[in-house]
Structure 1
């Protein structure tokens, strides 16, 4: 790990979506590094937080960087309105960036997603891929990215668009937790016939990269973020067995049968449907060469270390 003295010019940080999973981890991480952090949420719960409506120019001018995490996450149940995504992920970003440009704030970090580039990946996903998102979530993230890149950025300011893959860590209740519940109860994993590779991102590594961006302030641009190694879902199931202390069992049912069951699940609104089946079995490998080269860093947490930490947290 490279230790770099914090740039004293970037010490007051605004974090939108401060009460979300990433915000709840990033805030104490930056505080420990010596930053002053101000949370911005829709419904402030303390005098140290602001709403988007009360975010005045005075607050902007006394802040030296903003990490924009707020937005609407991808809805696996498929019940969200498409307009909700664009309102939360695109329009709010436009509003905040306009205020940023008119303020003395120096750095804007936008938390986008690899889904802004592609919902499915053949080979390895790089920042140069032609973006073709399919879902409303991905399209709304790409629309925000496009708007940000179209604006004229003063030479005194920096813009970093981050595209993380699936973020995990203690306290996260996403798809990893669903898989954990299956394996920890001794239920065999039935999708072993699918061979894939997936990238993950531990919250520790994400916080580390954001801190390095604030410290080093490299060239503005789009940056993928993921852990160093991609692993298969079968390997993940084995890790869950290791982390939970329960032996994992992997079954290899015919793919055609499983795909048919996924379609039935979509029709009957079952917990396992086509989209969740795709999430568990697809390959999605993210290339992070660009950001590691620009920052000259090694990530502090390996893929296995991060996943085991998350898995063990589910027991608590």
Structure 2
């Protein structure tokens, strides 16, 4: 809207949207029969994520079939921006990830997102733009951040003080700004969304604690010990996301002139502060 675009928000059920956004009830995209004539561009950010124990066919229904149905609904001239996932590169790729890095999905969620990309490319050709965001930071964001906020709020000591890693994140507002840039006709076909500066898990926790106005109680427990406990509890994927490194460099985004609105620590503090306001 700030960029001068008229915005319609697709929703499964009738609901209230931010001022200036007209609602459009789609129903379940996996079964919906839609026509989206009259739109210059469609941004598809809906999908299934952050679930455990979900069969591959459920991932495919929500992330592949629904994307196909939406692509069929748009006019033959409309641009289509698909919000995918940086998880397509795996959980802990070696080196720095860019748009040139080969895909290597390691779970069914990432596989379904890659399959959706490939299917949409077949259907839409040059009209498709793919955005692969890193873990998104913002008020009420999903993933490990809500769990860390809960532990910090309770004043519990966290055994992550010895972790020496670097992970990429991106602010939700920066994702929105980059999506707007990708509406341009000459935008690249594939763009990564990640803050140029990654952050370590201990520094992430410190930023969240500042946002909550609570102390960050970090204990220097050896990372190898944490790994053993994670394996026993069957939480290796969570441990990898907290202890491993994942650095993404947004080459194409920076070339388009995109820059984050704030540093990553400030984004994390802002997300935590929003939770503080709600919880009281």
TM-score, length basis structure 2: 0.88
Distance 2:173 2:15 in 1: 25
Per the alignment, residue 241 of structure 2 pairs with: 279
Closer, same or farther: CA 231–165 of 1 in aligned 2, 3 Å: same
Give CA-to-partner distance per residue, 1:124-147, whole Å, 9 cap, x none. Answer: 111111111010001011111112
Aligned-pair Cα RMSD in Å = 2.0
Closer, same or farther: CA 82–245 of 1 in aligned 2, 3 Å: same
Give CA-to-partner distance per residue, 1:75-132, whole Å, 9 cap, x none. Answer: 2xx22121111111111112222333xx244210001001122222212111111111
The reply on whether 1:307 has 2:277 as its aligned counterpart is: no
Distance 1:178 1:147 in 2: 34
Shift of 1:244: 2.0
Per the alignment, residue 48 of structure 1 pairs with: 23
Distance 1:55 1:142 in 2: 24
Distance 1:239 1:205 in 2: 18
SS of corresponding position for 2:182: helix
Residue 48 of structure 2 contacts residue 63 of structure 2 at CA under 8 Å; is this kept in 1? yes
The reply on whether 1:108 has 2:80 as its aligned counterpart is: yes
Per the alignment, residue 96 of structure 2 pairs with: 124
SS of corresponding position for 2:128: strand
Residue 160 of structure 2 contacts residue 218 of structure 2 at CA under 8 Å; is this kept in 1? yes
SS of corresponding position for 2:161: coil
Q: Which runs of 5+ in 1 are unaligned?
A: 1-29, 267-272
Q: 1:290 is matched with which residue: 228, 232, 252?
A: 252
The reply on whether 1:192 has 2:161 as its aligned counterpart is: yes
Per the alignment, residue 229 of structure 2 pairs with: 261
Q: 1:179 is matched with which residue: 124, 134, 148?
A: 148
Distance 2:258 2:224 in 1: 43
Give CA-to-partner distance per residue, 1:34-88, whole Å, 9 cap, x none. Answer: 33222223334479322143522xxx2211110001111132xx22121111111
Per the alignment, residue 249 of structure 1 pairs with: 217
SS of corresponding position for 1:280: helix
Q: 2:181 is matched with which residue: 212, 218, 238?
A: 212
Distance 1:160 1:37 in 2: 18
Shift of 1:223: 0.8
SS of corresponding position for 2:125: coil
TM-score, length basis structure 1: 0.78
Residue 209 of structure 2 contacts residue 269 of structure 2 at CA under 8 Å; is this kept in 1? no
Q: Which runs of 5+ in 2 are unaligned?
A: 17-21
Give the count of matched residue pairs.
268
Q: How does 1:131-150 map to 2 (within 5 A)?
A: 131-150=103-122
Distance 1:122 1:255 in 2: 19
